[in-house]
Amino acid sequence: MKDCTMHYDAIIKVTRAISECRDPEEVALLTVRSVKNAYKAKGCSVFLINRETQELELAASFGLSDEYLRKGPIHYLQSIQEAKDNAPVAIFDVQDDPRIQYPEAAGNEGISSILGVPIVAHGKTIGVMRIYTAEPWEFTVADISLAQAIAQICGMAMDMCRLHKGYKTSIEILKNMRGKDTFATRKWTPHEGVPKSVTPSICNY
């Protein structure tokens, strides 16, 4: 029961924090920090899929060195295939698994195990979240379920942030499109929105 309580607390904390974000990049960064701390892992990364290059592009990472992050392109159809199969993938030994693209780099980084889960928005896989541990880790069902839940929250939050930014951009465009004489006042009047040139003069009444 203690482990379950810890998992519930982690979800609550992550959800509350992510809900306050207004930018997709901020959501990704907050997610990796929260997950690393919740699992007491070596590191965590969030990648987004580039459909044109078929590569995973790094959105945010926490706990990993720049050297490891710059190890080379990650092909989501060839490496750990949590994005391709839309299912979690747990790797116990990165040095003895053919799905690892850069085993030498992982060894130099001190990574032993990896858990990868897809990030889904509107039923479509948009990226992956990966958790890296320094010690060999046999991920439990609870570990995997928590990671899936957080990844789902991350995907939904990033999608909502994009919509919010798009909405704000549309409003700004509309504001810039209308001329100075379009509205006589910010206060609502029966003639609001009608150009001054066609608005009856109050003096005529």
- Give residue-wise pLDDT tens across range 158-203: 887 676 555 444 445 555 665 555 544 444 444 444 445 444 444 4
Q: Residue 159: what pLDDT?
A: 82
**Domain annotation covers residue 187:** no
- Residue 27 is predicted with a pLDDT of 85
Q: Reduced to 3 states, what is the DSSP secondary structure of residue 32?
A: helix
- Identify whether 141 is part of a domain: yes
Domain of residue 102, CATH code: 3.30.450.40
Query: What's the pLDDT tens digit per position in 90-144?
Result: 999 999 998 899 999 999 999 999 999 999 888 888 999 999 999 999 999 989 9
pLDDT the model gives residue 102: 93
Domain contains 70 = yes
CB 68 within 8 A of CB 59: no
Backbone angles phi, psi at 152, to 5 degrees: -65, -45
Q: What single DSSP character describes residue 201?
A: P
In the chain, the amino acid numbered 180 is K
Q: In total, how many domains does the chain have?
A: 1
Residue 97 lies in a domain: yes
Residue 135 DSSP label: S
Q: How many Cβ atoms from other residues are within 10 Å of residue 34's Cβ?
A: 21
Q: Is 174 domain-assigned?
A: no
| Residues 21-52: tens digit of each pLDDT | 677 788 888 889 989 988 999 999 999 999 88
In a domain, 28, yes or no: yes
Residue 175 lies in a domain: no
Q: Confirm whether 48 is domain-assigned.
A: yes
Burial of 47 (0-12, 13-18, 19+ CB in 10 A): buried
* Cβ pair 112, 133 in contact under 8 A: yes
Q: How far is CA 171 from its chain centroid?
A: 25
What is the Cα gyration radius of the chain? 24
What residue numbers bound the domain in which 149 lies? 2-166
